[in-house]
Structure 1
Amino acid sequence: MDIPVADGVIEGYLARPVPSVSGDGPYPAVVIVPDVSGLTEDARAHADRFATAGYLALAVNLYSRGGLVRCIRSVFRDLLAAKGRTFEDVDAARSLLADRDDCTGKVGVVGFCLGGGFALVAATRGFDAAAPYYGVMPRDLSVLDGSCPMVASFGRKDPMLRGAADTLERKLTEQGTPHDVKEYPDAAHSFANRLPGGPFNVLLKVAGFAYHHESSEDAWRRVMDFFGDHLVLDR
C-alpha cells in the first residue's frame, strides 16, 4: 500500500487480522521497520505473523525513493543523527494506522537490525510501545528520554552490540520506563530474521549474523505479552 508522506508517498506492506479469527476490530496496530535488507519476504512474514495475532501490521519500505543502493546512505545518516526524513516516514506510517477506522488508536513500533535502531529512537515519538530487536544504541542516550514502554531483544554472540542490553536496561530503569530487556546467550545478530540460503548465508553466520529459532520464538512470546499489556485495550 502507499503511505502518504510530506514529499509524496512511500511503499508499505499492510497485513490485516482475519475477522473470523480476531473479530471485526478495531485492532491495535504495529509499524514494522525492516532490517537493512529492506521490505523483503522476511519483513512481510513478520507483518503477517502480527496480523495473525490480531494486530494491524504495516511494514515500511525505507528505500522507497530509489532502492537500497541509492537510499541506504541517507537512511543510515538519519539513524546516526536520530532525526531526519526516515523518522518522518515512520511517523507517517504510525499516523496512517492510528487514523484508520479499524484501528483502536494504539500503535506500537517493531524494528529489526537497522530497523531496531529506528524503533529505539521512535519510542519517544508518539508510539505506545516499542520492540527493538538488536538495534544499535544511539550515541546520545538522552534521545531515549520519555520513551514509551519497551521490550528489547539482543544476542550475546552479536559482535556489534556487546553491552548494549545492559546499557539499555540501565537507561530505562533510571528513567522509570516500563521495560523488558533480554540478551539471549545462544543468539547472534539477526537471530529473528530468516536470512537467504546458500553460500552467502554461511558467510553471514561466520560474521555473527544467524537465525536462532529458540531465541526468536522466546522473543516473540515476550513481545506478544508486552504488547498485550500496553496495546490491547481489553486486557
Structure 2
Amino acid sequence: RHIRAVADQYADAGYLAIAPAVFDRVERDVDVPYTDIPRGFGYMQQMSNDLVMLDLRAAVERVATAGKVGVVGYCWGGTMAYLAAARLPIAAAVSYYGGGTAQHLAEKPRCPLMFHYGEKDTHIPLSQVEAVKAANPSGIFHLYEAEHGFNCTDRSSYEPASAKLALERSLDFFRLHVG
C-alpha cells in the first residue's frame, strides 16, 4: 500500500505513475506490510534482478507512449532503479536508500540519476554511499539526517522533513529530465 501511495504523489504532480507488482511472480496481489519485513525478504530472495528488469521493461514500454519515462525506487527498489538506469531506455532514475546498489557498480547508468541516503542508516554504511558516489561521478547525491526508510510513513524511521525535501528534489529532477 505504501508504494501505491508514493506513486499517487507522483501522479498528483502530473505524472503517469504506476507501481509494478513485481512480487506477483511469487504470489499474486501480495501486500507485505512493513511489520513483516522477513516475509518481504523472502519474496525478494525468490526473485532475480533479471526477472524484475523484465517486469520494469514491460512497465516502461507500457507508459513510454505518454512520453519520457523516469523510474524511482525505495530500498530494494532503489537498487532496481539503479539497474533500470543501466539497462532500460529511461530518461532518469531516482534511488532512495538502495542498499544493494554497491554490489552493481560495474553496471553503468545511461541516464541521469539521483540518490537519496540517510546519514543514520544502519543498513547502508556511509562507506557504501561513498563507493556508489565514486562510481557515479555525474550522479546527484543527497544525504539526510535520517535513518533507512525515512520516506516510508509506515515505518518508525519515517522523517517527514527529509521525506518532503527528497520528494521536492526528486520532482524537480524529473521535471528537468522527464518533463
> How many angstroms apart in 2 are the aligned matches of 1:71 and 1:165?
25
Tell me, in whole angstroms, the C-alpha distance in 2 between the residues paired with 1:120 and 1:158: 19
Q: Which amino acid aligns with 2:52?
A: T
Residues 48-92 of structure 1, C-alpha deviations (whole Å, 9 max, x = no match): 1111111000101111131465743222xx2xxxx4211110111
Q: Which residue of 1 aligns with 2:147?
A: 188
- Does 1:62 pair with 2:62? no
Aligned partner of 2:54 in structure 1 is 88
Q: 1:64 and 1:146 mapped to 2: Cα distance?
A: 27
Q: Which amino acid aligns with 1:50?
A: Y
Tell me if structure 1 keeps the 8 A contact 2:102–2:132. no
Q: Which amino acid aligns with 1:72?
A: M
Query: Which has the larger share of helix?
Result: 2
1:140 Cα offset (Å): 3.9
Higher strand fraction (1 or 2): 1
Q: Does 1:52 align with 2:16?
A: no
Structure 1 vs Structure 2 CA RMSD: 1.7
Distance in 1, matches of 2:85 and 2:109, equals: 8
Q: CA deviation at 1:122?
A: 0.9
Q: In the alignment, residue 171 of structure 1 is paired with which amino acid?
A: A
Deviation (angstroms), 1:121: 1.1
Gap regions ≥5 residues in structure 2: 33-38
The equivalent residue for 2:45 is 73
Partner of 2:36: none
Identify the residue that residue 73 of structure 2 maps to in structure 1.
Answer: 111
Q: Which amino acid aligns with 1:148?
A: C
Following superposition of structure 1 onto structure 2, how do residues 156-167 of structure 1 map, counting pairs within 5 Å? Answer: 156-163=119-126, 164-167=128-131
Structure-2 change in CA distance of 1:114 and 1:165 (3 Å): same
Is 1:148 equivalent to 2:114 in the alignment?
no
Percent of residue pairs bearing the same amino acid type: 31
- Distance change in 2, residues 1:134/1:90 (3 Å): same
The Cα of 1:138 is off from its aligned counterpart by: 3.8
How high is the TM-score relative to the length of structure 1?
0.65
| TM-score after normalising by structure 2 | 0.85
